[in-house]
A and B are shown apart, each in its own frame.
Chain A
Amino acid sequence: MLTFDRYEMPATLPEALALWADAPEGARLVAGATDILPWAREGRAGDVDLPLGIDLSRVAELQGHERHGSRVRLGANTVWQDFLDDAQLARWLPVMPHCAVWFADDQIRQQATLAGNLVNASPAADGTPPVLALNGELELCRWAGDHILCRTMRVEDFVTGPGATRLAPGELVNSVTLDCADGYGASFQKVGQRRSLVISVACVAALVKLDETGTRFADVRLALGGVGPVPERLRDIEDRLKGEPVDTRLIEDAAAATAARVASRSRVDYRRRVVPGFVCAALEEAAERARVAQRKEALHA
């Protein structure tokens, strides 16, 4: 059971940051609350009484998203369902709808934020692999007495271990910025105990851009989650494939090497069998979707 001595709903970023700067020990930021509320239950943190909850969901500056050149900036309040409901976001970030459809369920996605998922830093977080694949960066802001101070950090550097990040005291995530991947084909593979409402035992995010002939990999992005303390980007495999023809044997070969990346504490054998298959399937599917996207574009041109 989670109780708060004080619960604040700031409407602006300066208000939120000022509250956070002066917050008593133990205070928490609350976004969608889909991690915080289940955390305060028997078997986990148990009954928790927090001195202060700062609810970010009404902070105007954290809403919405926009494109700046080749990057897409998502306000920290962007929720998972946005990737399924907003056609423009889906086009810019083609891997996100495929990840979102496997994320929790339709209802939790209305609440759960991408930023909360990254800060929560679960090794099994579904959000981190696609964000790594899209060269995600966080804008971290804090209150410096009379003005806001911000810095940016790559998500790859931000998540340091299970539940551990480089978020400094008084800081909050203001936005998540990602590569715009318009024209890429994408895939997200996930396995857990069931379909909906399930934590990944393993997941893979892939993005593929084809060359103009539609037969070679122009760009490949690949990231792995659920199989080690932190999700990781598979740059060596990306490099191996870039410029090469899209070929089943080559993909299988490259994927076989990924079994060695499994560094989890449990179900190692199972994960070692699943991961190469997932990498293969993800690359094939992403390549196929890239082909379809290319054909559509040609049709429109």
Chain B
Amino acid sequence: MPEMTLDMRVNGRKVTRRADPGQRLLDFLRDELNLTGTKEGCGAGECGTCSVFVDGKLVKSCLMPAAKAQGADIQTVEGLARPGELDVLQKAFHKTGASQCGYCIPGMVMAATSLLREAPEASLDEIKERMGGNICRCTGYTKIIEAVALARDVVTGRASPAVLEPEGVGESYIGHNVRRLDAPSKVTGRLKYAGDMVMPGMLHMAVLRSPHAHAEIVSIDTSEAEAVEGVACVITSADVPGKDGFGVFVHDQPVMARGKVRHVGEAVAAVAAEDVATARRALAKIRVEYRELPGLFDPEDALRPGAPVIHDYAPDNVVKHIPIRKGDVDKGFAEADLILEDEFSTQQVEHAYLEPEAGLAYVDADDVVTVISPSQNITHHRHMLSEIIARPINKVRFIMSPVGGGFGGKEDMIYQGMLALAAMKTDRPVRLVFTREESIIASAKRHPSRVKYRMGLTKDGRITAIRFEMLSDGGAYGMSSEGVMRKAAILSCGPYEIENLQVDTTAVYTNNTPSGAFRTFGGMQAQFATESMMDIAAERLGLDPFEIRRRNMMRAGSLTHTQQRLTSASIDRVLEAAEQASRWEPGAPTMRGPMRGDLGGPGTRAPCTLGARFETPKDSKERVA
């Protein structure tokens, strides 16, 4: 590696280091200077978690070789306010509750700082335009934009600094900006996520992943990789001392592929080395011989007789089938004036939390194997790991680091086992930080699903029967599929009281990326089908879409799909609020088309466009174009 003396002023202090000039400024700040408020979310300029000022200009430090900052004045999020204090923007972010997981927040604060320096009078549209380089997955941006506008008003004297003070909450917290206890640590970049943590003597891990969807592993030769200078160990499934298997419901997934790979991106081996570059170089020297097997890529194919079997324990490729029966559907359909049939499909979706998976494991002085990671399920992970590494539960410890966004995607123990094994094998702390690409290829996704729907209705819009059949692609491993199928079944027919129903939800194994937990946990796929059916029914029967829902909605005393007696129900109030907020014009969907009067009113988003900065606001200097 080349070396060069890099001189900069960083947050007002002179810094001189012998370092690799070709490394990214991001790595220089994080690794050499331990300024971990600057995050890495994508490494490709797409997310903005790494924004820093270089000579007063905000740049993405993942796209800048460190040598470009030679002699420059750098400001990172740590340099915005003195320790223990918050600047105006940070206070505004705190005030409006703009930080949730917090991982995008240092970058957001930096982007907002740049914005207020460049265009202190920015309109809301211009704020959105200038913040366009930073993405967030928790907030939906509303509170972030609110915070920036609030800070703008204070900075320009339109509002008194008092607006940044906490609000009194009075009788109820609801309807007030309640301050989040963890916001100061997030808006200042002080909070350490797993990938920000370091320990003396720490090794870095890189993971070899399968290029095949379904293949037998004939042999793995790690000898050349082990011989690379700087490599501390290489691990494979052969290093697992206990019972290899994890999963939220069935423990069908080995820590690393055992005997065969079941999806592209599955971990096959891992290297722990003195630095990430060495670990990645060593990966290229691991020789794996595969024998490809026929794969399954469509859930319908998985159910065909003679289909390839993905897990020996499940020769029918079924992960889970959840049936629900209530009443008599044949009778219900016989009573219907109208029978509707349709099919609905939804696609795979990635959570895209801004913090890629990361973890740090070590064996402490009392032989306790400890894993720090943003796991959304640490107690379960601890129990599973204790079996995998064959150690008593009191010798296994999980510490949950701040979760930089999870949305269900961090429930699966897809890397913590590898970290534990490497720490045990080397007796040194080992850290793994996924790249964004790795996070996308290896982590669970929302279940792609298909629903076959049959709904019977009377002329006046009462549902007499529903048959709901969902087939979901569970991917290569079980993960949360069972729970997702349960939830999808329970919620299947929506908040409507259906006397006669027949619901079946099934998840099957394929060689696609595993599906797992994702916000709504199966509810979204089911509601998409049910609510679409309600709209289609309203259209066919000439009824108002709100009205047809009211005629069928659950009330206190209703019996749910799983035959639980409700003591209360709120759908009536939800419908009323939605009707008012949308300024709904009553009537059947067929009656309106482009003539409807409730479109495009206040609160309706205008189509996306850029160029707000070209509009010269009153009493400000002329703009460029």
Which A residues form the contact surface with B (CB < 8 A)?
Answer: 1-7, 9, 30, 32-34, 37-38, 41-43, 47, 53, 55, 57, 81, 84-87, 90, 94, 97-98, 101-102, 104-108, 110-111, 194-197
A197 to B622, CA, bound (A): 27
The answer to whether residues A41 and B614 also contact, given A3-B277, A106-B114 and a CB cut-off of 8 A, is no
Question: B68 contacts which chain A residues (CB < 8 A)?
Answer: 9, 33, 55, 57
Given A7-B21, A37-B44, A106-B132, A111:B437 Cβ within 8 A: no
The distance in angstroms between the C-alpha atoms of A195 and B130, with both chains bound, is: 11
Nearest-CB residue, chain A, relative to B1: A3
- Which residues of B sit under 8 angstroms from A5, Cβ to Cβ? 1-2
Cα distance, A129 to B250, chains bound together (Å):
55
Interface contact B22-A197, CB-CB below 8 Å = no
Question: Is B62 an interface residue when CB atoms closer than 8 A count as contact?
Answer: yes
**Proximity string of chain B (545-564) to chain A, C-beta cutoff 8 Å, 1 when within and 0 when not:** 00000000000000000000
Out of B2, B20, B22, B608, name the residue touching A194 (CB < 8 Å).
B608
Known: A42-B435, A97-B614. A106 touches B58 (CB 8 A): yes
Instruction: Please give me the 5 A-B residue pairs with the lowest Cβ-Cβ distance, nearest first.
Output: A105-B133, A196-B132, A4-B22, A97-B625, A7-B22
Q: Note all chain A residues with C-beta closer than 8 A to B281.
A: 47
Q: Tell me the smallest distance from the CB of A180 to a CB of chain B, in Å.
A: 15
**B270 nearest CB across to chain A (Å):** 16
Chain B residues with a Cβ under 8 A of chain A: 1-2, 4, 20-22, 24, 43-46, 48, 51, 57-60, 62-65, 67-68, 70, 111, 114, 118, 129-130, 132-133, 276-277, 280-281, 284, 435, 437-438, 441, 608-611, 613-614, 622, 624-625
Which residue from chain A places its CB closest to the CB of B51 in the assembled complex?
A107
Q: How far is the CB of B2 from chain A (nearest CB, A)?
A: 5
| Contact A9 B70, beta carbon cutoff 8 Å | yes
B133 to A197, Cβ gap below 8 A? Answer: yes
Is the Cβ of B280 less than 8 Å from the Cβ of A33?
no
Contact A37-B614, Cβ < 8 Å, known A84-B624, A107-B48:
no
B63 touches A3 (CB 8 A): no
A-B contact count (CB 8 A): 129
- B277 near A1 (CB under 8 angstroms)? yes
Q: By the criterion CB–CB under 8 Å, are A101 and B610 in contact? A: yes
Q: Do A34 and B624 touch across chains, with their CB atoms under 8 A apart? A: no
Knowing A41-B43, A57-B68, say if A34 contacts B63 (CB, 8 Å): yes
The reply to whether A97 and B608 contact each other, CB–CB distance below 8 Å, is: no
Cα-based distance from A241 to B517 in the complex (angstroms): 57
CB pair B22 A53 closer than 8 Å = yes
Q: List 20 A-B contacts (CB under 8 A).
A: A3-B22, A9-B68, A33-B68, A37-B45, A37-B63, A38-B63, A42-B438, A55-B65, A55-B67, A57-B68, A84-B624, A97-B614, A101-B129, A101-B611, A101-B614, A106-B58, A106-B132, A107-B48, A196-B132, A197-B45
Query: Besides A9-B67, A33-B63, A108-B59, 8 other CB < 8 A contacts?
Result: A84-B624, A94-B625, A101-B613, A104-B133, A106-B114, A107-B59, A194-B608, A195-B129
Contacts of A105 in B (CB 8 A): 48, 132-133
B280–A47 touching, CB < 8 Å: yes
Residues of B within 8 A of A97 (CB): 614, 624-625
Q: Name the A residues within 8 Å of B20 (CB-CB).
A: 3, 7
Name the B residues within 8 Å of A30 (CB-CB): 65
* CA–CA, A285 and B484, complex, Å: 51
Closest chain A residue to B3 by CB distance? A7
Q: Considering the chains assembled together, what is the distance between the CA atoms of A3 and B611 in angstroms? A: 37
On whether the beta carbons of A41 and B59 are closer than 8 Å, the reply is no
Q: Are A7 and B67 in contact (CB under 8 A)?
A: yes
Find chain B residues with CB under 8 A from A196 CB: 129, 132-133, 610
User: Which residue of chain B is the closest to A35 with respect to CB atoms?
Assistant: B63
**Nearest-neighbor residue (CB-CB) of B610 within chain A:** A101
A262→B239 CA distance, assembly (Å): 56
Considering only CB atoms, which chain B residue lies closest to A30 in the complex?
B65
Chain A nearest CB, measured from B286 CB (Å): 14
A125 to chain B, nearest CB (A): 16
Q: With the chains together, A101 CA to B327 CA distance in Å?
A: 60
CA–CA, A85 and B621, complex, Å? 13
Chain A residue, CB-CB nearest to B280: A47
Q: Which of B65, B437, B614 has the most CB of A within 10 A?
A: B65
Query: Within the assembled complex, what's the spacing in Å between the Cα atoms of A221 and B395?
Result: 73
B62 to A, closest residue via Cβ? A37
Q: Within the assembled complex, what's the spacing in Å between the Cα atoms of A101 and B1?
A: 38
Q: Which residues of B lie under 8 Å from residue A32 when comparing CB positions?
A: 63
B58 x A41 contact (CB < 8 A): no
Which A residues are in CB contact (< 8 Å) with B277?
A: 1, 3
Bound form: Cα–Cα A57–B132 in Å = 25
Among B46, B70, B435, chain A packs the most CB atoms within 10 A around the CB of: B46
Partner of B24, one of A37, A42, A86: A37
**Chain B residues with CB under 8 A of A9:** 21, 67-68, 70
Closest partner residue, chain B, to A32 (CB atom): B63
Q: Is the CB of A110 within 8 A of B59?
A: yes
* Chain A residues closer than 8 Å to B44, beta-carbon distance: 37-38, 41
* A3 contacts across to B, CB distance below 8 A: 1, 20, 22, 277
Chain A nearest CB: distance from B122 CB in Å? 12
For A9, A42, A107, A195, the residue with the greatest tally of chain B CB atoms inside 10 Å of its CB is: A107
A contact residues around B62 at 8 Å (CB) = 37
Which residues of chain B are within 8 angstroms of A87 by Cβ–Cβ distance? Answer: 622, 624
CA distance A196 to B129 in the complex (A): 8
A262 vs chain B, min Cβ distance (A): 23
Interface centre among B68, B70, B609 (most CB of A within 10 A): B68
In the complex, what distance in Å separates the CA atom of A197 from the CA atom of B284? 32
State how many angstroms separate the Cβ of A193 from the closest Cβ of chain B. 11
Q: Which residues of chain B come closer than 8 Å to A102, judged between CB atoms?
A: 610
- A207 CA / B156 CA spacing, docked (Å): 37
Flag if A108 contacts B133 (CB, 8 Å).
yes
Contact B2 A6 (CB under 8 A): yes
Task: Tell whether, in the assembled complex, residue B45 and residue A90 are in contact, meaning their CB atoms are under 8 Å apart.
Answer: no
B625 touches A195 (CB 8 A): no
Please tell me which one of the listed residues A55, A90, A110 contacts residue B57 in the complex, with CB atoms under 8 A apart: A110
Please tell me if the beta carbons of A98 and B611 are within 8 angstroms of each other in the complex: yes
**B132 neighbours in A (Cβ, 8 Å):** 105-106, 195-197
Q: By the criterion CB–CB under 8 Å, are A98 and B625 in contact?
A: yes
| B304 nearest CB across to chain A (Å) | 31
With A and B bound together, what is the CA distance between A2 and B65 in angstroms?
10
Interface contact B437-A42, CB-CB below 8 Å: yes
